[in-house]
Structure 1
Amino acid sequence: MEKIRLLSTLGLMGAMRSLSSTFEAAHDIHVDSDFAPTLALLKRLRDGEAADLVILTREGLDEMIGEGRVVAGTTADLARSFVGIAVRAGQAHPDIATEAALRKTLLAARSVAYSRLGASGVYFAQLIVRMGIAAEINTKADIVEQGFTAERLVSGEAEFAVQQISELKQVGGIEVVGPIPHDLQTPAVFSAGRIAGAKHADAADRLLRYLASPEVVPVLRQSGLEP
């Protein structure tokens, strides 16, 4: 069985578990997947790590194309993702429907977990600066280097977790309250491209075509993404 190596942002982890199995069964190609935050993946690619296909934020993928690490013309936008807030299962859902409500909720929180290297964490850090509450939030923030922020809800270390909704949904024992108001965010676009010098270019192209096809739409939606 041919094997291809996929490096993917955490936002696609839930969807790819199911999609990889379907693809492998149909094409007799094994997908060896490694998931990490976009900024961590960019560093690994710049350090020379080998792969066949990569899924990053659109901005990250464009950087890789510009540096010649991803082949231009072998890319596809796969899904959009909004940043949301989650609480531990059974906890009351706070009001985050408007900017004013979100500000009040965040200021009243015991602690807020967000990521340092993920697109959601970069966005949230900028958002609280824009809202003028960065100092207050960061004194009680639980900043997660890598992985899923919602795990801090289960352990009791944080009251609220902020991350892409598709990433929040990867953790059991939590509930997604909803997205941060849409007028306060631009959704992340997750895009795939073939790595320059891929050892299994044809197989990578087949996986890319599959991930960009209409048949994957229900799986993307189920995992908290918008096609």
Structure 2
Amino acid sequence: MTQEIRLFGAIAVRPAVLALIPQFETATGFRVATKWEVNPTVKKQIEAGEAFDVVIINPPMVQDLTALGKVKAGSEAAFGRIGMGVAAKAGGRPLDMGSVEAFKQTLKSARSIAYASDGSSGGYFSGLISRLGIADEVKPKLVGISGGQTASAVGRGEAELGVVPVTSILAAAPEVMLVGRFPTELQSYIDFAIGVSASSTVAEAAGQLSAFLTSPAVDGILAAKGVERC
């Protein structure tokens, strides 16, 4: 009987991980069943008893779940990091993202800006516009999107721009394009780590999946999807 590995991960890493799973399944004969939510929701659901074998979320959350006995101690492994970018509908006008001042002007000039209202990236962006001193001008234009659908909302025309992890923008092509990454001075990388469930019934297979996802052999595919190794 084919062993099934339950992978529960953050929406931001979904495009990259889904590109790798067929290769793993072909090589091992295992089947990987996936579930995706924003980082805080993944943690909350596991705390509430959600069954999983492998989890991919922010490192502090993996550490919290380890302390609670949900993740096997010693199983945490770095997966990679994802930078923030700006999305626009494909075919739109070019935008200047080359400096902090240009970035600020782009945000102030936008008619509407979608952001992840319940995700890690949305929390960072909300704090960023306050630090840049443009909150009063930008906040009225913000469109909160839940469930990891920020880039898709831009493609549907629900907002002119979207601020979201680069992986989600690349995955929304061809309807959506990556206008540019945040300027270096403002960039925030969202780190991700992998953990194996402390109560997994397929612990050996889960460990193999973790090792595969963190191996140098898949670095090129991850980079193409917007994930940088730490």
Q: TM-score, normalised by structure 1?
A: 0.96
User: Once the two structures are aligned, what percentage of the paired residues are identical?
Assistant: 33
Structure 2 equivalent of residue 186 of structure 1: 188
Where in structure 2 are the equivalents of 1:106-185 lying within 5 Å?
106-172=107-173, 173-185=175-187
CA distance in 2, matches of 1:122, 1:200: 35
Match of 1:86 in 2: 87
Aligned match of 1:10:
11
C-alpha distance in 1 between matches for 2:83 and 2:30: 31
Which moves more between the two structures, 55-64 or 22-31?
A: 55-64
2:215 is matched with 213
Asked whether the equivalents of residues 112 and 160 of structure 1 are also in contact (C-alpha less than 8 Å), the reply is yes
TM-score normalised over the length of structure 2: 0.94
Contact 2:12 2:148 in 1 (8 A): no
Q: Distance in 2 between matches of 1:42 and 1:134?
A: 29
Q: Which residue of 1 aligns with 2:39?
A: 38
For residues 44-73 of structure 1, the C-alpha deviation after alignment (integer angstroms, 9 at most, x for no partner) is 111110100100012222222233221221
SS at match of 1:199: coil
Aligned partner of residue 86 in structure 2, secondary structure: strand
Q: Which residue of 1 aligns with 2:227?
A: 225
| Count of residues in Structure 1 that have an aligned counterpart in Structure 2 | 227
Cα shift at 1:32? 0.3
State the shift of 1:86 in Å.
Answer: 1.1
Letter in 2 for 1:102: F
- What residue is the counterpart of 1:197 in the other structure? 199
Q: CA RMSD in A?
A: 1.2
Q: Following superposition, which runs of at least 4 residues in structure 1 exceed 4 angstroms of deviation?
A: none
Per-residue CA distance 1:172-195 (angstroms, 9 max, x = gap): 211101211122133111110011
Q: Give 1:29's aligned residue.
A: 30
143-152 vs 20-29, greater mean Cα deviation: 143-152
- Distance in 2 of aligned mates of 1:31 and 1:65: 22
Name the CA distance, whole Å, in 1 between partners of 2:12 and 2:172: 12
Q: Would the aligned equivalents of 1:111 and 1:142 in 2 still touch at CA under 8 Å?
A: yes
SS at match of 1:169: helix
Q: Which runs of 5+ in 2 are unaligned?
A: none
| Greater share of residues in strand | 1
Instruction: Report the alpha carbon displacement of residue 143 of structure 1 after superposing the two structures with TM.
Output: 0.5
- Post-superposition Cα deviations, 1:74-103, rounded to whole Å, max 9, x if no partner, equal 111111110000111111121122211111
Corresponding residue number in structure 2 for 1:61: 62
